[in-house]
Amino acid sequence: MVELNLSDKFSDIYVPGEFKKLKVFIGGKWIETKDKFDIISPTDNKKFAEISSVSKEDIDLAVKYAVDSKHKIRDLPAIDRIELINKFRLELQKYKADIVDTLVKEAGKARRSAEGEFNATIERMRLSMEDSRRIMGEYIPGDWSSDTSQKVALVIREPLGVVLGISPFNYPFYTSMAKVIPALLSGNSVIIKPPSADPIAFLMAAKVFQEVGVPDGVFQVVTGKGDVAGDYLTSNEGINMISFTGSTDVGKHIASIAGLRKTHLELGGKGTVIVLEDADLDLAAKECVKGSFELAGQRCDAVSRILAVEKVYNDLVERLKQHLQDYKFGNPVEDPSVTMGPVISQNAAKRIDEMVKDAISKGAKLLAGGKYKDCYYEPTLLVDVPLNAKIAEEETFGPVITLIKVKDKSEAISVANKSKYGLDSSVFTGKFYDAWEVMKALQVGNVTLNGAPSHGTAYFPFGGVKDSGSGKEGVGYSIDEMTYTKTIIFNLGAGNLGKKYTGQFKD
């Protein structure tokens, strides 16, 4: 059985017992709730820890603290906010080994992936601190228009107030932090609901943040399942913005109850790779395997299907088969050299298997993998996948390479754009004008040339269209999403300082 080993540093965040019960962080205090639920480690499909589950009263208290404390962060000079985040960033790095170990155990991540998530989080914090200095306004002279000739205006950015961040299981540490940092840097208080499946690493970070001096009530973490931690939390009137990363179905539901409050929705995708006649096929195969198998395919920017033109199709199949060995599959707790571990749960593995079997029943050929045990789904290669297969259209979120044959570039674009998703795509070609045509035609928020989609530290902004969401995620773009513009108008005419309109040259 996998054990949760936490140093004395984190003794405040859990209640001791046969299984550690993690607390929530509300109003600057660690609180044990009455209700709880189990955390199952996907590495052995057994109970790993217990997590507090908030009640409506707990949520009301958290929101009240956030509302009452928002002035603490808003009134703090921007340079102080930057220095607070930097202090946190430096302190957090001391606990990298502890957090990485927890990510491996609670999320089933390969150690390399867990380390990459931690490193990306630290880098994202650094980049966000730099970009927060660009929260500036605009001066507009009014004398360019006759009705405002004696006025000037400043357009400034203001914090929204209370930001609620809801994060997914695939990057529980990074995505949660990617909501906290821009919210605080832009002067908002923030409540984070990390994923129910694997919230522990982020709770550890919250403890570090508490110790470096984040003001009580400004930053809070709640955990829970069901309607209380879902609908009741997201519909609370004290929350001014909801930043959600997760499934399209849940995102649509949040949008339906959000009303006029601002939402930032980073939802599902069907990452489509188009491989044209003159592509570097070895590069394409290597990148497609990486895009399909990294984090066991549990990424919104994963390569979810490949559209290859007839001329290079068979050659690409052979190269994909060769690169299947690029990833070592196994238990990341038992073998640190493993580069692809389990999916998040046995139910997830079962869902993936149903999609694979559906494709085979409709004519697809299974060249590798296609089996699972507990949470471990084998790296899988499906070829000749028909367009009416579920896996050709639905988000896979698992380690399956799905290869579809198309006649030419035009058909590839047509098939790609029929998807209800519009997050990421790629095109592999050596011809600039073909690349430009495809990249312009694809109805997606992000498209990559000669590389698999990858959001990384979000230095390049990303965000979807259609059922993939709304808003842009990124180093500076996240800060923009968490602020609003205010126009301040000065009537200089009252002090005889404006430029009075004469009308002498009017026709």
- Residues with active-site annotation: 266, 300
Report the alpha-carbon distance of residue 38 to residue 90 in Å, rounded: 32
- Per residue, the 3-state secondary structure of 282-297, as one string, reads HHHHHHHHHHHHHHHH
Q: How many helices (H) does the chain have, and how many strands (E)?
A: 16, 26
Give kind and range of the element (H or E) at residue 153: strand 151-159
How far apart, in Å, are the Cα atoms of 337 and each of 96, 109, 401, 460? 18, 12, 22, 30
DSSP label at residue 215 = P
**Helices 200-212 and 96-107, axial angle in degrees (round to 10):** 160
Spatial contact of 81 and 42, defined as CB atoms under 8 Å apart: no
- 198 C-beta neighbours (distance < 10 Å), count: 30
- Judged on CB neighbours under 10 Å (0-12, 13-18, 19+), 485 is exposed
DSSP 40-65: EETTTTEEEEEEEE--HHHHHHHHHH
Q: HSE of 443 in the Cβ direction (CA atoms, 13 Å)?
A: 15
- Cβ burial of 325 (10 Å; 0-12, 13-18, 19+) is exposed
Q: How far apart are CA 306 and CA 287, in angstroms?
A: 11
Least Cα distance to 181 among 468, 457, 487, 489 occurs for 457
- Is 497 strand, coil or helix? coil
- Please state, in angstroms and rounded to a whole number, the distance separating the CA atoms of residues 444 and 246: 17
Instruction: Report how far apart, in Å, the C-alpha atoms of 503 and of each of 4, 85, 145, 301 are.
Output: 77, 54, 11, 57
Residue 196 CA neighbour count, 13 Å, CB half: 14
CB of 276 closer than 8 Å to CB of 429: yes
DSSP code, position 67: H
Query: What span, in angstroms and rounded, lies between the C-alpha atoms of 439 and 419?
Result: 16
> Three-state DSSP class for 474?
coil
